[in-house]
Amino acid sequence: MNTPVRGIVVLLILLIGLLLTVGHLPRVLPDWIGWLRPEWMVLICFFWAIELPERIGLVSVWACGSVMDVMVGDAIGTNGACLALVSFVGWKLQSRVSLYSPFQQIALMFVISLGVLWIKAVIDNLFNGVAFTTHILVNAACTSLWWILISRVLGRVKTRFDIR
C-alpha cells in the first residue's frame, strides 16, 4: 500500500470522527440518550497518538479541533487544546498502553475523557454561560467503554491498510 493511500485512510477516519461528532441523534429520541454519545475525536486521536506518534502531529490535531470548534460552536481553540492534550498523553504512554489490560485501558480512557470534558465544561461556562453538570461523568464513562471497540476496529484498519 503506497503512502498517499495510507494518509488518505487516516484523514478519512478523522473525517468520520468529525461527522460523528457534529451529527445529532434523531429528534424523536429522548434527550438523555445524548449523554451516551462518546467523545469520538478523543478516542480516534488517542488511538493514532499511541499507534502513529510520528505521523500525527500537534498541528493536524489542532486543525481538527478548530474545525470541531466552528461546527459545534465552542470557543475557538477549545477542542484544539483538548485534542492536543489527549495526543500528548498518548505519545507519553504509547509504549505502556499496549501492555495494559482492557480494564486498565478503560480506566485510563475514563480519566482522559473526564479531564477533556471538564476542561470543555469550564470553557463553556466561562464563554457561553453553560451550567456545570455531573452528566460529564456519564459521558466520560461511555467514552471509555467505547474505547475497546474503537481501538479494535481502528487496529484492523491499520493492519488492513498497512499504516505505519
Partner 1 sequence: MESYNETLLDPLKQGVAIVARPIQSIAEAPYFLTDASIDFFSSRNNLQKENSILENRIRELSYGSQRLAAVESENTRLRELLGSRKRLSGDVLVAEIVGIDPNIQRREVVIDKGTVDGVRVRQAVIEAEGLFGQVIATTRSSARVLMVSDPRHAIPVEVVRSGFRSIAVGMGLSDRLYLENVSTTADLIIGDVLVSSGLGERFPRGYPVGEVRSVDIDPARNYADVYTSIQARLDTSRHVLILFDGMAP
Residues making contact with partner 1 (CB under 8 A): 15, 18-19, 21-27, 31-32, 34-35, 37, 66-67, 69-73, 75-77, 124, 127-131, 133, 135
C-alpha cell at 94: 504509547
**Separation between Cα atoms, residue 129 and residue 20, nearest integer Å:** 25
C-alpha cell at 44: 480516534
Our separate counts of H helices and E strands in the chain read 6, 0
Q: Which is nearer to partner 1, 71 or 111 (CB)?
A: 71
Minimum Å distance from CB 55 to partner 1?
Answer: 21
Q: Which is nearer to partner 1, 32 or 103 (CB)?
A: 32
Q: Which is nearer to partner 1, 2 or 27 (CB)?
A: 27
Q: Contact, 111 vs 62, CB < 8 A?
A: no
CB atoms within 10 A of CB 102: 11
Rg (CA), the chain: 16
Minimum Å distance from CB 63 to partner 1?
Answer: 8
Minimum Å distance from CB 117 to partner 1?
Answer: 11
Minimum Å distance from CB 62 to partner 1?
Answer: 11
Minimum Å distance from CB 24 to partner 1?
Answer: 4
Q: Which is nearer to partner 1, 1 or 33 (CB)?
A: 33
Q: Which is nearer to partner 1, 35 or 91 (CB)?
A: 35
C-alpha cell at 61: 490535531
**Separation between Cα atoms, residue 40 and residue 19, nearest integer Å:** 9
